[in-house]
Amino acid sequence: MEKVVLKAGKREVTGKKVRALRREGKLPAVLYGHNIEPTPIMLDAHQTWLTLSGLTSSSLVTVDLDGKEYLALVRDEQRECIKNHLIHLDFQAVSLTEKIRTKVGIEITGTAPAVQDFNAVIVEGLTEIEVESLPQNLPERLVVDISKLAAIGDSIHVRDLDVPSGVEILDDPDGLIVSATAPRAEVVEAAAEEAEAEAMPGAAPTGEGET
């Protein structure tokens, strides 16, 4: 993947005073992790938003802090609740020789034959999974092709995921990614029929010695 660089500078302003920085178009952040103590930094808010909008939670970025580069992951994003603007970021500097744990998003693709042939409903489970690998081996996303779902009841679990070499999945192998289920009307009807069958009275028992 093309190298992604974010220019940053050290930040002296902290606490409530960072509001003034935001009004100036600056985005406060913190850089911590490999080979650096937790350091308050600031970036250009607009440029950072443009850059990160095309990345995923497992994408690596290079933070250029006053000329020194740090390979990092975005570990936390804080957003303004109304307009959803970024207001703070946490970057974790990583080493190419040390494994890290992070979340990788799941992307659903393809068309399930079960939908076309049996009017199935596709139900999505996990939207991301936790993995461990060297930073350079991290996939940006894991693509799941649902064309394998041929009939109602078919499903894809964590154990079925195809991950790159050197990447270890840490989630439960039985975790559900996606499944093809019966339409809701059929489910309700089946449940009603089952409840009706259970409610039907059985044959009255015959007592011993009855005349």
Spatial separation of the C-alpha atoms in residues 52 and 50, rounded to whole Å:
6
Say which residue, 202 or 168, is predicted with more confidence.
168
Q: Give the residue-averaged pLDDT of 71-89.
A: 92
Spatial separation of the C-alpha atoms in residues 112 and 177, rounded to whole Å:
14
* All CATH 2.170.120.20 domain ranges in the chain, comma separated: 101-196
Q: Which of 4, 11, 24, 14 is nearest to 64 (CA)?
A: 4
DSSP state, 205?
Answer: P
Q: Is the pLDDT score of 211 beyond 50?
A: no
Angle ∠(93,76,82) on CA atoms, nearest 5: 150
Q: Give the residue-averaged pLDDT of 116-121.
A: 95
Are the CB atoms for 183 and 151 separated by under 8 Å?
no
* All CATH 2.40.240.10 domain ranges in the chain, comma separated: 5-95
Reported as a pLDDT band with limits 50, 70 and 90, residue 86 is very high
Spatial separation of the C-alpha atoms in residues 175 and 127, rounded to whole Å:
11
pTM of the model: 0.78
What are the tens digits of pLDDT across the range 170-201? 999 999 999 999 987 554 455 555 666 666 66
Q: Report whether CATH 2.170.120.20 matches the domain 101-196.
A: yes
CATH assignment of 5-95, among 2.60.15.10, 2.40.240.10, 1.10.3720.10, 2.60.40.10: 2.40.240.10
Are the CB atoms for 61 and 139 separated by under 8 Å?
no
Spatial separation of the C-alpha atoms in residues 75 and 61, rounded to whole Å:
11
